[in-house]
Each structure stands twice: as structure tokens, then as C-alpha cells.
Structure 1
Amino acid sequence: MSSYRQDLPPAGGFEAVKYKRNLPLRGPGALVILGGVTALCTFGFYRVGLGNIERRELKREQTWARIHLVPLLIAEGDRAAYQDGQRTAAAESLIMKDVKGWKLGQSPYNTPGFRAPDRAL
């Protein structure tokens, strides 16, 4: 006989061929992402609302502070105008001391109405 020997499978057979793709998970699913985005947007809108309330309160507080400061600022302006008028009268009396018939504080304009004094700030 011949020395030819046929190659046979091992006893118990070959192991199964792995033909399935073995891919890892690609991250969270679409519903998880949608839920996360929804939660994040909800939190963001909540914080924007809180910021709007805070900004509105600060604006109200600033408005009332300005309202309450108006009398003080008017009084300061009146005080500064009075002191400026006193300095102007002193300078006018010094400059016009040699002019006969000059009245101190008389307006050089011939207008019947009141004219507010001009002041440089």
C-alpha cells in the first residue's frame, strides 16, 4: 500500500470560525444624548432667568439711588453756583471800581426775562 495519508480534522472538530464583527460601543445612544442636551438647555434657561431677575433688581436699585441722589446733586450745584457768583461779584467789583454808575451784579443784557447765569464746568 501506499504511504499516502489523508489529513483529517482533529478529534472533536475545528473550533468555530469567528465571523461576527467585534466592534466596541460607540458611546451613549441618541435618547441619552437628547436627554442630556435637554437637561443642559433647561438648566441654561433657568440660569438666564435668574440673571434677568438679578439684572432687573440691580437696575431698579440704581434707579432709586439716582432718584434719591437728585436733591443732593441739585443742592451741590446750587452751592457751587452761589460760590461762583460770589467769586464773580468780587472780581467784578475789583475790575469795575473805577467806572461811575456801575451797579454790582447788573446784567449787561437789556432783556426783561430771567437769564440763568452761564457757568463753565
Structure 2
Amino acid sequence: MSSTIPKQDLPPAGGFQPLRYKRNLPTKGPGGAVIFGACLAVCTFGFWRVGQGNLEKRELQREKAWSRIHLVPALMAENDRDVYRREQAALAREKEIMKDVKDWEAGAKAYHTKRYVPATIAVI
């Protein structure tokens, strides 16, 4: 029996050529350090602007408060003039309406006290 044994395949002399298994992709865009630095710069600039805005807002609030403080006396004086004008007009109306009533004193106090009691107005 002459058996024909197949011959085994062997590598060529000197071996096979090395396989290229690494990917050779070109880099696209900036690296991670550049992106991190840019984010850090943008955040730093943003926080600086927020701080500047807070300072300006605080200054505007202070200016608003001081302007109100300085306006209060003028507004109170104007209110006092308005109240006086209204009281004089009410006194004139009372004198006109009650001119025929005997022993009527126009503008007499309803309360027997030396303290000032402002007139109350009931709006119905």
C-alpha cells in the first residue's frame, strides 16, 4: 500500500510578511488639551462677566435706594400740600352747605383732643 501522504503546507523561508493591524487615521480637529483649555477659558471669561454684572447690579440697587431716600421728603411735602388743599376745599364746601344752619361752626373738630386726627374718607 503505497500511501500518498499529503505534504503539509509550511511557511515560506524567512517567514510571512508582518500584518498591518494598526489603523492609520489622520487626526481631525484639536486635541483634548486644547479643547479643555478652550472650555476653561470660556468658563473663566463667563464667570468674570457674571461678576461684573453683579457689581453693576449692586451699584444700580444702591443708586435706586439712595434716590428713593432723597425723594421721600419731596413726596411727603407734596402729599402734605395736597392734603391741605383738600381740607381747605372740604371746609369751603361745608361752609357753603351749612350756611343756613344756626350755631354751626364749620371746621370744628369732631374729637375733643389736642392731638391731630386726620380726616378719614370712606370709599363706598
Q: TM-score category by the smaller chain?
A: 0.7 to 0.9
State the number of aligned residues: 104
Please report how far the alpha carbon of residue 117 of structure 1 lies from its aligned counterpart in structure 2 after TM superposition.
Answer: 2.0
2:53 corresponds, among 29, 42, 51, to: 51
2:64 corresponds, among 59, 62, 65, to: 62
User: What is the one-letter code of the residue matched to 1:23?
Assistant: L
1:42 corresponds, among 41, 44, 50, to: 44
Partner of 1:25: 27
Deviations 1:3-38 (A, max 9, x none): xxxxxxxxxxxxxxx986453423211111111111
Instruction: Please list every run of 5 or more consecutive structure 2 residues that lacks an aligned counterpart in the other structure.
Output: 1-19
Trace 1:1-121 onto structure 2 (pairs within 5 A).
Answer: 21=23, 23-108=25-110, 114-118=116-120
* Sequence identity (%): 54
- CA change 1:75–1:90 in 2 (3 A) is same
Please report how far the alpha carbon of residue 40 of structure 1 lies from its aligned counterpart in structure 2 after TM superposition.
Answer: 0.5
Structure with the larger RCO, 1 or 2 (CA within 8 Å, 6+ apart)? 1
- CA change 1:53–1:21 in 2 (3 A) is same
Instruction: Please list every run of 5 or more consecutive structure 1 residues that lacks an aligned counterpart in the other structure.
Output: 1-17
User: Is 50-59 or 106-115 further displaced after alignment?
Assistant: 106-115
User: What is the one-letter code of the residue matched to 1:77?
Assistant: N
Inter-partner Cα distance in structure 2 for 1:24 and 1:34 = 21
Q: TM-score, normalised by structure 2?
A: 0.71
Q: TM-score, normalised by structure 1?
A: 0.72
Say what the alpha-carbon RMSD is for the aligned residues.
Answer: 2.3
